[in-house]
Structure 1
Amino acid sequence: MPRKFSEFKDTLWYATAPQAPDTAPLQGEVKADVCIVGAGYSGLTTALELARQGVSVVLLEREEIGFGGSGRNAGHCTPTFTHYSLPELRKVLGAPWAERLIQRQTRANDKVGAMIARYDIDCEWEQNGYVQGALFPSHLKTLQGHMAAYNAVGARTRMLDRDEVRAVTGSSRFYGGWFHEEAGGLNALAYSRGLGRAVIAEGGRIFTGSGVTGCTRENRAWVVRTPQGSVRAEKVIYTTGAYTVAGWPKLDQSFRIMRVFVAATQPLSQASQAVVLPRRTTIQDGRGDIYVYKYNRENRIVASMFPMGARGQDPAFTRQVLSDRLRWLHPDLREDLRWEFFWYGELDMQRRTVPRLYGLAPGVVAMTGLSGRGVPTGSMIGGILSDWAMGVAEKDLDLKLEPLSRQPLYMSIAPQMALRGYRLRDNLRARRQGAPLPPHA
């Protein structure tokens, strides 16, 4: 049975993004050097990289451009890793793969900004930095470790003391924070649609409403089939992530789905903007069970959390949690909050959630594992996938090619259990150090 994904048209981005470029379903057979499946950030940037080099590219999408995580995410663009520190990543990936991926990821926002400028993408791009706060004193040591590790590879980050973090974020709750000045934010769907227009401008072909039903080898070419047509190509790249439906056997078993929710308030008054993120940074409150928020162009607060118990299931209670947490972080906020948009997205979780490059067959690869840093990671991954398509030797790629693997059943509950563990850990640390707990902690 096909997976049922959360409603796409509920998102703030769907209500505010510029119109999508004109596309249509694939009819009949077409030929290309490379066929890409999935029109999210990864597929779009791969297509763009290849089209700019004169490669004939066809991009197939079951729904519409940005339908998956690339149109639903909260719009944060922070060029870091979420699940591993840099020393941990080096242990997980080993040499030379870790250093190559670190370099790509930490410079991803350079690429995002350059593409937005080059193709004049109207997507609310603001590069005002990211703050991870410390809600108890001992967290500062961890953040100092992040600062040292990221600065050592060329990132521009620094620590904020208590007065500085209040000036930047408007919150008096933090003992300090880690500030990444290269981070930014955007309208997630507007960016996707802008990349789509760029692909078409460079000569790439995009067919929407064209879900892939199969891919077979015929006469030294791959034939990728859709309900009303097919693409005959030398190479095929799957970039469907958590929104994978059929297309290749067992690809949808290489991850487990985890949901996240995002909500947006009404446009806030100037008085509220003066006490909540006065410098329009993105902020993560520093807890393992995260609360992260930023402004959009209309001065709405866009916040996201993971579902846990009634949070994320009961709409009224969830809105209350979001409001209570924001007011606790910003006690000077006096305006009544109305969460006018509320939506869900799906993440492709794995036991080792970093970008993964799977060799499916000679001339066919798939990529998954962007969860949590989709904007910068999806934007930089196109360079790696296009390198593969252009024939760069496997040993010289910036991701290691590995066989497709099935995720264990426990991954269906492991991410939720980890969140609960993070919450318990942070609560215990805060109590031991005399730090107040946020509401609903």
Structure 2
Amino acid sequence: MRNDPLSHGLWEKTAPPPPETTVLEGDVTAEIAIVGGGYTGLSAALFLAEAGKQVVVLEAEEIGFGGSGRNVGLVNAGMWVMPDDLPGILGDSYGERLLSVLGEAPRMVFDLARRHEMDCEAMPVGTLHCAVGESGLRQLDQRAKQWKARGAPVRLLNRQETIAKVGSAAFSGALLDERAGTIQPLAYARGLAHAAARAGADLRTGSRVLKAERSGNKWRLETPKGSLTAQNVIVATNAYTSTPWPEIRQEIVHLPYFNFATPPLPQSLRDTILPERQGAWDTKQVLTSFRWDREGRLVFGSVGALEGTGRAVHRVWAERAIARLFPELKGTRFEASWFGHIGMTADHLPKLHRLDIGVWGFSGYNGRGIGPGTVFGKALADLLLGNLGEKDMPLPVSDASTQPYRSLREGVYRLGSQAVHLMRTIA
């Protein structure tokens, strides 16, 4: 996208094309305006259009341009926060409700992919959270017990079981979550867009919202070439928010994340490395993730931005790290590389905001966008359809709050990840 191979890398190379879209021109009206063509906005558009609502989606760039088209493609259940901690943060009612909603999120993703026949490499075969050392294993043991207490199909694997599942002796154990899996993330976003368009949603790309003004009981959204008037607005821009709702961006710290992809590897290697095709990541603070794509490319990622000196530092680290995990891949080079930004909130939980009268939005997915984006999009659709009340939503309504030292922290993430990967490369 934008003729930049570092924006979407492998995913743009292998995803089916998006539906045909147009730029918003002239004055258009709709019942509901959705700003943002990622998982949340497209999910909301699909369910609203299926219910007969007149919906227009305004996307500043292209379908899946933001985090929806750049992420690793792990369809996880839950958030980074430990399950037992959520009731303490949100209260018992919202805490347990959010756990239930997010626990079912992968099923909704895979059901949508199947029902709408999306060509998005959906693999509902589970994920592996891999323990580094004894401290990592203790962390996973705690997480496993808390999910099991809620009836979730998770299992803590010992070292030998992990070696068999991962194909590496680097980990002391792993948490297998059978609810989860992998997907081609940009292909899934485009699949949602196709489904929404077939249901009657009007998708407009290259249509950045520059200004939002309320007139009577309606909103007028101005774009470079036109305007959209609607009674309700869903803001679904998350980490890629600019105008006219800067408060969303101000409560989010950008955490950069990159991915490299090998060329398609021989079947003999696919049979020993992640032989059951689970996606995986480890318990390090500057974590490593790895998974297969459909054609047998190993996608290998971590925290960091592929810009400036980071591009060389992270590439050298990735080449050596993949060889340390899987010695049989020593000397393997990468055919694609890309990166994007994860929107991190202060408490590592997403937020539901009423940004103004009739203006709603979820944001701050903290690296867990596929499942939450999908179910929260449906929740916003149900709210506007009257199927859910405000107090029935997965999260309580909160005011956006500015994170202190946001720019400084983003610089620390960029430079700190380079330092960590440089030291690991040297060591």
TM-score, normalised via structure 2 length? 0.92
The answer to whether the 8 A contact 1:32-1:56 is kept is: yes
Which of 219, 224, 236 is the matching residue for 1:239?
Answer: 236
The answer to whether the 8 A contact 2:40-2:377 is kept is: yes
Q: Which residue of 1 aligns with 2:382?
A: 387
Tell me whether 1:401 sits opposite 2:400 in the alignment.
no
Partner SS state of residue 401, structure 1: coil
Which of 357, 363, 387 is the matching residue for 2:358?
Answer: 363
Q: 1:50 to 1:136 in 2, by over 3 A?
A: same
The answer to whether the 8 A contact 2:55-2:202 is kept is: yes
Q: Which runs of 5+ in 1 are unaligned?
A: 425-436
Structure 1, 282-291 or 5-14: larger mean CA deviation: 5-14
Q: Which residue of 1 aligns with 2:79?
A: 81
CA deviation profile, 1:43-67 (whole Å, cap 9, x unmatched): 0001111111112111100101000
The answer to whether the 8 A contact 1:328-1:439 is kept is: no
Structure 1, 403-412 or 262-271: larger mean CA deviation: 403-412
Q: Which amino acid in 2 is paired with 1:108?
A: A
Q: CA deviation at 1:137?
A: 2.5
Structure 1, 9-18 or 135-144: larger mean CA deviation: 135-144
Which of 50, 53, 62 is the matching residue for 1:52?
Answer: 50
The answer to whether the 8 A contact 2:304-2:414 is kept is: no
Q: Which residue of 2 aligns with 1:199?
A: 196
Q: Which amino acid in 2 is paired with 1:326?
A: I
Give runs of aligned pairs for residues 4-43 of structure 1, distance below 5 A.
9-43=7-41
Q: CA deviation at 1:9?
A: 5.0
Q: 1:5 to 1:42 in 2, by over 3 A?
A: farther
The answer to whether the 8 A contact 1:7-1:344 is kept is: no
Which of 57, 64, 83 is the matching residue for 1:66?
Answer: 64
Structure 1, 114-123 or 400-409: larger mean CA deviation: 400-409
**Separation in 2 of the partners of 1:117 and 1:222?**
36
**Separation in 2 of the partners of 1:398 and 1:5?**
38
Which of 312, 315, 321 is the matching residue for 2:317?
Answer: 321
Which of 326, 346, 364 is the matching residue for 2:341?
Answer: 346
Give runs of aligned pairs for residues 182-197 of structure 1, distance below 5 A.
182-197=179-194
TM-score, normalised via structure 1 length? 0.89
Partner SS state of residue 24, structure 1: coil
Partner SS state of residue 133, structure 2: coil
Q: Which amino acid in 2 is paired with 1:79?
A: A
Tell me whether 1:178 sits opposite 2:175 in the alignment.
yes
Q: Which amino acid in 2 is paired with 1:160?
A: L
Q: 1:164 to 1:193 in 2, by over 3 A?
A: same
The answer to whether the 8 A contact 1:76-1:185 is kept is: yes
Q: Which amino acid in 1 is paired with 2:397?
A: L
The answer to whether the 8 A contact 1:13-1:187 is kept is: yes
Considering only aligned residues, what root-mean-square deviation do their CA atoms show, in Å? 2.6
Q: 1:15 to 1:116 in 2, by over 3 A?
A: same
The answer to whether the 8 A contact 1:6-1:345 is kept is: no
Q: 1:250 to 1:439 in 2, by over 3 A?
A: closer
Q: CA deviation at 1:81?
A: 1.0
**Separation in 1 of the partners of 2:349 and 2:179?**
21
Q: 1:344 to 1:224 in 2, by over 3 A?
A: same
Q: 1:91 to 1:58 in 2, by over 3 A?
A: same
**Separation in 2 of the partners of 1:144 and 1:78?**
18
The answer to whether the 8 A contact 2:213-2:221 is kept is: yes
Q: Which residue of 2 aligns with 1:433?
A: none
Q: CA deviation at 1:363?
A: 0.6
Q: CA deviation at 1:318?
A: 2.0
Q: Which amino acid in 2 is paired with 1:337?
A: T
Q: CA deviation at 1:189?
A: 0.8
CA deviation profile, 1:21-54 (whole Å, cap 9, x unmatched): 0000011222222111000001000111111111
Tell me whether 1:226 sits opposite 2:223 in the alignment.
yes
Q: CA deviation at 1:334?
A: 4.6
Tell me whether 1:271 sits opposite 2:283 in the alignment.
no
**Separation in 1 of the partners of 2:414 and 2:141?**
23
Q: CA deviation at 1:419?
A: 11
**Separation in 1 of the partners of 2:341 and 2:136?**
29
**Separation in 2 of the partners of 1:191 and 1:407?**
31
Q: CA deviation at 1:383?
A: 2.0
Q: CA deviation at 1:157?
A: 0.7
**Separation in 2 of the partners of 1:5 and 1:85?**
40
**Separation in 2 of the partners of 1:342 and 1:327?**
17
**Separation in 2 of the partners of 1:356 and 1:50?**
21
Q: Which residue of 2 aligns with 1:431?
A: none
**Separation in 1 of the partners of 2:14 and 2:244?**
31
The answer to whether the 8 A contact 2:8-2:69 is kept is: no
Q: Which amino acid in 2 is paired with 1:346?
A: H
**Separation in 1 of the partners of 2:43 and 2:256?**
25
Partner SS state of residue 275, structure 1: coil
The answer to whether the 8 A contact 1:272-1:335 is kept is: no
Give aligned pairs, total. Answer: 422
Which of 370, 373, 391 is the matching residue for 1:375?
Answer: 370
Give runs of aligned pairs for residues 262-301 of structure 1, distance below 5 A.
262-301=259-298
Q: Which residue of 2 aligns with 1:110?
A: 107
**Separation in 2 of the partners of 1:190 and 1:44?**
13
Q: CA deviation at 1:6?
A: 7.8
The answer to whether the 8 A contact 1:307-1:313 is kept is: no
Partner SS state of residue 40, structure 2: helix
Q: Which runs of 5+ in 2 are unaligned?
A: none
Q: 1:152 to 1:52 in 2, by over 3 A?
A: farther
